[in-house]
Structure 1
Amino acid sequence: MAIKLGIFQTEQQVIHAIETLEQEGFTRNELKVLVKDSEHSRRIERQTDVHADELRELVETRSEADDKEAANDILFAGTMTQSPGGVYGAGVAGMMGSGAPYGGMNLLAGRARINENSNIEEALISLGLNGSQASLCRDVIVGGGYVVGVETGAGGGNGGPDPTRSGIVEAVYRHCGAERIL
């Protein structure tokens, strides 16, 4: 399913876009608002009754789920050897972990976190954005901007006026001052 995204710089633009989209027949359930944190979402939620997904909360929730499943961790292991001076060396360079003797061999095991930007993009992709959309929206939201998204289906124009859901959403975004439309 296609998602039409509008990038806005102010809360007022987002509120105006939501109100206009509702006047065009879109329901609150079809709208998605992405913001940096609760400071950026309060007014929008209060004035529109549309829930705004807070990037900070999405990443924390995703990280907690990933920690439980260890899906967001890179596991590594290597053998440790003992030098004549009694100092251990690891078969995996640059990683910190703990050595545990096992049958005459020491095993080094631990986890390395994938970077924060990857977590942010994964959270946005889980909301239905594609990779390039997630990357751009990450930068916009981290910078304090706002993203409004509407699921539009598989619409497409023929070069003229676009009466499809996608065309209506794009017209609303333009009317409400979107800085960029994806």
Structure 2
Amino acid sequence: MKHIAIALTGLALLAACNQDPGAPTGKTAETKATACDFDCTLNRHIRAIQKHDFAAFAPTITDRQEVDLIFPDGTLVQGRDAYMKTLKEFLDGGGFDFQYRLVRKQAGADMGYALLDVTQMNEGQPDPSRYYLLLVFALQDGSWRLVHDQNTRLPPVDASAGEGA
């Protein structure tokens, strides 16, 4: 009987570990973000961008004022209030398709980053824009939160490069 109880406990722990961290749990978004590790937070952040979902995006951002956004032209936006206003307008505006390739990702005990190669198709523009997106997250009060968002423009994809090869 003791062995059955141990086996059932092990199965329960294994099942808990295999749950989708992004699955709804009936808790608030703020609480769900707290239970997320680095990879889970990164996935939620990217998924919120792709779905133009500011409500899902907001819990992945630091609650502190120290957050920076650097645009491809070098414009610097500093502070949480300015960052949130800028990204709310961007996400609520929609009209874009965000696709990416993960170039590199690394996380330590309290800092992590992801470098994405992004192709973004914007409504009304014939060609996609391409840029590197560097996202830096810090572990703050038990939650991974974005503290730096940097965009570096890449040359457009040459559609004719693959022809005749």
Q: Same fold (TM over 0.5)?
A: no
Instruction: Please identify which structure carries the higher strand content.
Output: 2
Instruction: Please identify which structure carries the higher helix content.
Output: 1
The structure with the larger Rg is 1
Taking structure 1 as the reference length, the TM-score comes to 0.22
Larger RCO, structures 1/2 (Cα 8 Å, 6+ apart): 1
